[in-house]
Amino acid sequence: MLFRTSNKGRIRVVTAYLCLFYLFNFSVSAHEEGPNHSHVDQCRTDKEKYCKESSKGDILSCLKKNEENLSEDCRELLQEVRGKAKLRMEACREDKEKFCANRETAVIRCLQENKNLLGEKCKSALFSSSK
């Protein structure tokens, strides 16, 4: 069960989902752009070592739980993803409250479903090709 106690708890859950979304989106986009890039593999070994039994949706949580054991490259990638997720969360705060306030989970999906209604700031943060 997800946090239902406060806005702070909801923000943490949303941030976790944003991180997860962009962690995998970032890797997939890089892969589609051409040959293998170093950041695609930054967490691969750590995922296999610590999160082999985790479902795809729980990999980020697993990596966070094992962060102190992760390679330096993977920890750096997680920090980068967190930073980008925080910026995107700030850019989409108003749209999230307007269109997805009743959603405690799947906020990214909600924002994607409302893509045509989002403000330019949020659209740019979520859907720009520069990740």
Helix (H) and strand (E) counts in the chain:
6, 0
Residue corresponding to tokens 């859907």? 127
Could you tell me which residues come within 8 angstroms of residue 99 by beta carbon, excluding any fewer than 6 positions away?
110, 111, 114, 117, 118
Which tokens sit at 100?
A: 């997805």
Rounded CA-CA distance 60/17 in Å is 9
Q: What is the pLDDT of residue 129?
A: 56
Which tokens sit at 31?
A: 């892969």
Domain residue extents for the chain:
40-127
Over residues 77-88, mean pLDDT: 88
pTM of the predicted model, to two decimals?
0.57
Q: What percentage of the chain carries pLDDT values higher than 70?
A: 66
Rounded CA-CA distance 89/11 in Å is 9
Q: How many residues does the chain have?
A: 131
Greater confidence (104 vs 54) lies with 54
The one-letter amino acid code at 111 reads: L
